[in-house]
Structure 1
């Protein structure tokens, strides 16, 4: 009998198929694990020392440079990043801000100008940088500020580009005279040229960090919330994230509240920069309004997706923010446009928070409301604009004169408000008299009465300018004090405190925190 028969061949084939199926789906076995080397420790200990804070760029085969932007073939960077660790237990309040989990994984990058840092970095920013292990500061000049080296973000710009564009006139003056200080307005014209090379140089100078937070001198960061946020993300995913805005068809991250880039994003960005900057990206900078807009276009070409972190990052200061349920339980990672005194107060508040709660409990918008807003709300605040803007009721022309002739007060004093402090009864609500609407702009008292008459009104403001105006608001905002040297044009504001209190109770105390991106 022959050794090889059709029957035996079928048996062998069937056995092979069965073993293949079991290997793929049924038998336990171990796949080759991806090897991710350990993160190189580039930390400097204690206060930042004078001189170079970062090592030389880890670059191989950089080759010759053409026009200061590489050869067009991507540079090979030695990047060493540790695997994503499991989440740690609560970090106690005894830890210093430099010892907190994740602090060594973050590079803080500050974009500034000689005009902005003429008198030094603001105190809140110095405190933030003292907590960071890794810091880069880019400007329109090279030098040093508060013991930190300043890197010239424009020093790779081709000479032909500098000669061609008027914005670089101020740059040439600064290069020629180390003591020359441009005005803030002239310095801002150079900002758009900094962003693309600044991000590229960050990638080449400090390639082995998990996350990069790009901020401005007037960006206020919560260090504890920043570290807790980033600890929830995978640095290998190419994240480009910030507060969204749109110019033409470009959706971009606004630079003021901060822009977060991950290791994965920079790994996709830098080779495209070397390939496209001279031929494509630089001409776009020349015609663009802003550097953050051009950065968004560059990230799109590098196939880095934009993630909105609005709510985590706030483009406004607390006084201008609309307080509502959507972001009530979202942690505050950054504010923008805070006056220096407010920024310092915010940092001190965060320090007190971590001393009390440790480094693993986030500080939410609810906590910010309780700290910075709630105590300022009142039934009446004189010389205050609370930004009520949903409905505007303007008195008819000549009404003030008519009221004067009738000997009726056109502007009530605070004591006159007692008649408006009591909510209207149900019968009057049902009637909704035209007289109340007509008189809404006559005085703060009548404006408040109109707000009480309107079910969804939370706040109001009255202007005594002209014949008077009453503004009603259904969104909760704080606003701020306004100077009114002309007593004939005075702002008076107020809130319906019981309605505001009921809403705040409904929104809750945030036992569950919302960290998600808000696409």
Structure 2
């Protein structure tokens, strides 16, 4: 996959992500009118938009103090043996990190959380120090390398005492070689190898090391229960598989899980790390280079999908292939979504147990599902697609297909899906206006017939 195609995919994901942020913002504002306190009623959705909401994103707003519910963290055996490493950037750190720490990572032992960025900094009212992931990269890899232009600019602003202005001045700074690509995105790929190496030396001899992005939601109860049942001494690298030029790697944003045995092997191959550090400039992505380096050490990616995956609540396709699986990560989670998922987790009846897809749907997503929405795309194009149909024809196609849970129609094209998902808002394009429909009765009947999830199936290690 070329850098350009990777960028195009990134843009598509970003558009979907923005749509969900708009929706959740609308829900939050509507809910504020009917709920007197988030503390007494932390998660109750009673309304849903009938059309695309006309609001702005909440991703630039810090978490409100009243939105934090003080709930004790459950005691999880083995939690002290798991290190969580967060990768972020100077242009987003102050916005995302406080929310991440108050929600997804609030129950992780603080001493086991490491945060790496492209600039060392201390954020006001934020307890964790942010380390520079690029510190120590050889000058031979940075000199005369335009990928580091934004890095050098950040250092300049910091030296002049302008740290607070970095997000506003550099968040739209583009890579001059690739129009439309943010310079921070290009720089990001250099962090992975150094981040893994430094994590293993800063917090040594732990059983598991988890690497996530600042927009990744880690479900701690699932993670600890799963890893407790796996052998940390084996050289294991869990992830959600992606492919570039036929080569498999673990998608970084979905989460990468490296065993203690794998970390020891990584640290023992310093020359291999140096070799691949020089190769980063020629590759699109840091998670891809990390997989190449580990593969060179004899450690291959072990698929942990769908426990590790790259969707967020609005884009998850619920159905037979996920329903009874535990969920450890979600990706592209907005600040607003992260707050809501955090509140949802705190309301769980058994917060120490793994979170299943079925529970997430029943107690969160189902509250948002309507029967029909205009200017909305529920992403039904996975299982069936046909052109030149009327709306009634599309409706009939879904009705007569006993496995159809939803469909979408844009005035010409009909998309049918045998799973169910919320989706995101979508503006009209030329003569296409999107309408999404859910067979709610059929969905409820399917859920009733798949009520039990026993036993829970965790991803296995190779040779288990």
* Matching residue within 417, 433, 436 for 1:473: 417
Say if 2:225 and 2:354, in contact at 8 Å, map to a contact too.
Answer: yes
Distance apart, 1:326 and its partner CA:
2.1
Q: In structure 2, what is the Cα distance between the partners aligned to 1:518 and 1:505? A: 32
In structure 2, the residue matched to 1:431 is none
| Cα distance in 1 for residues equivalent to 2:245 and 2:394 | 40
Q: Post-superposition shift, 1:311?
A: 1.0
How much does 1:518 deviate? 8.7
Partners of 2:74 and 2:351 within 8 A in 1 = no
Matched, 1:104 2:99: no
Distance 1:337 1:286, change over 3 A: same
Are the structure 2 counterparts of residues 215 and 95 from structure 1 closer, same or farther at C-alpha, using a change threshold of 3 Å? same
CA distance in 2, matches of 1:233, 1:169: 42
Q: For the residues of structure 1 that align with 2:446 and 2:77, how far apart are their CA atoms?
A: 36
Residues 463 and 498 (structure 1), Cα distance of their counterparts in 2 relative to 1, 3 Å cut: same
Q: 2:399 aligns with which of 445, 452, 455?
A: 452
Aligned to 1:502: 445
Stretches of structure 2 that go unaligned for 5 or more consecutive residues are 1-69, 173-181
Deviation at 1:269, TM superposition (A): 0.3
Give the whole-Å Cα distance in 1 for the aligned partners of 2:283 and 2:445: 47
Written as runs of structure 1 = structure 2, the 5 A alignment for 1:96-245 is 96-97=72-73, 99-119=75-95, 121-133=97-109, 134-145=112-123, 146-178=126-158, 179=162, 181=166, 182-183=170-171, 185-245=182-242
Using the size of structure 1 for normalisation, the TM-score is 0.67
Q: Secondary structure at the match of 1:225?
A: helix
The CA deviation string for residues 153-188 of structure 1, in whole angstroms up to 9 with x for no partner, is 111012222113211122222223303623351112
Contact 2:103–2:338 (CA<8 Å) still a contact in 1?
no
Instruction: State whether residues 461 and 471 of structure 1, in contact with CA within 8 Å, keep that contact through their aligned partners in structure 2.
Output: yes
**Contact in 2 for aligned 1:122/1:340 (Cα 8 Å):** no
Q: Quick one: distance in 1 between partners of 2:454 and 2:405? A: 25
* Contact kept? 1:105, 1:209, Cα under 8 Å: yes
Cα distance in 1, alignment partners of residues 108 and 309 from structure 2: 21
Question: For residues 118 and 506 of structure 1, do their structure 2 counterparts lie closer, same or farther at Cα, with a shift above 3 Å needed?
Answer: same
Q: What's the counterpart of residue 330 of structure 1?
A: 325
- Structure 1 residues 379 and 147: CA distance shift in structure 2, 3 A: closer
Find the residue that maps to 2:347 and give its secondary structure: helix
What is residue 373 of structure 1 aligned with on the other side? Answer: 365
1:51-70 correspondence to structure 2 within 5 Å: none
CA contact (8 A) 2:307 2:325 kept: yes
Residue number in structure 2 paired with 1:515: 458
Structure 1 pair 454–518 and aligned structure 2 pair: CA distance change class (3 A):
farther
Offset of 1:120 from its aligned partner? 5.5
1:347 aligns with 2:342: yes
SS across alignment from 2:257: strand
CA distance in 2, matches of 1:290, 1:109: 18
**Which protein has the larger Cα radius of gyration, Structure 1 or Structure 2?**
1
* Residues 382-439 of structure 1: per-residue CA shift (max 9 Å, x gap): 33221121333333xxxxxxxxxxxxxxxxxxxxxxxxxxxxxxxxxxxxxxxxxxxx
List per-residue Cα deviations over 1:458-489 (Å, max 9, x = no partner): 2222223xxx3332223333213334598x64
Q: Which runs of 4+ in 1 moved over 6 A?
A: none
* Deviation for aligned residue 1:226: 1.3
Instruction: Work out which of the residue numbers 266, 277, 302 in structure 1 matches 2:273.
Output: 277
Aligned to 1:383: 375
In 1, the alpha carbon distance for the partners of 2:71 and 2:337 equals 25
Aligned match for 1:491, one of 434, 453, 457: 434
Deviation at 1:95, TM superposition (A): 9.3
1:227 offset after TM fit, Å? 1.3
Note the alpha carbon deviations across 1:348-375, whole angstroms, 9 max, x for none: 111111xx2251x222011111123334
Structure 1 residues 305 and 391 mapped into 2: Cα distance closer, same or farther (>3 Å)?
closer
Distance 1:120 1:191 in 2: 16
In structure 2, C-alpha distance between the alignment counterparts of 1:127 and 1:456, rounded to whole Å: 36
Partner in structure 1 of residue 31 of structure 2: none
Maintained 8 Å contact 1:125/1:217? no
Task: Please report how far the alpha carbon of residue 282 of structure 1 lies from its aligned counterpart in structure 2 after TM superposition.
Answer: 2.2
TM-score, normalising length: structure 2: 0.74
Task: Select the residue among 290, 293, 298 that pairs with 1:298.
Answer: 293
Once the two structures are TM-superposed, the CA of residue 131 in structure 1 deviates from its matched residue by 2.1
* Distance in structure 1 (CA, Å) of the matches to 2:310 and 2:419: 17
- Aligned to 1:461, the other structure's residue is in SS state strand
1:270 is displaced (CA, Å) by 0.8
Q: Following the alignment from structure 1 to structure 2, what is the Cα–Cα distance between the partners of residues 195 and 221?
A: 18
Unmatched runs of 5 consecutive residues or more in structure 1? 1-93, 396-440
Change (3 A) 1:246 1:233: same
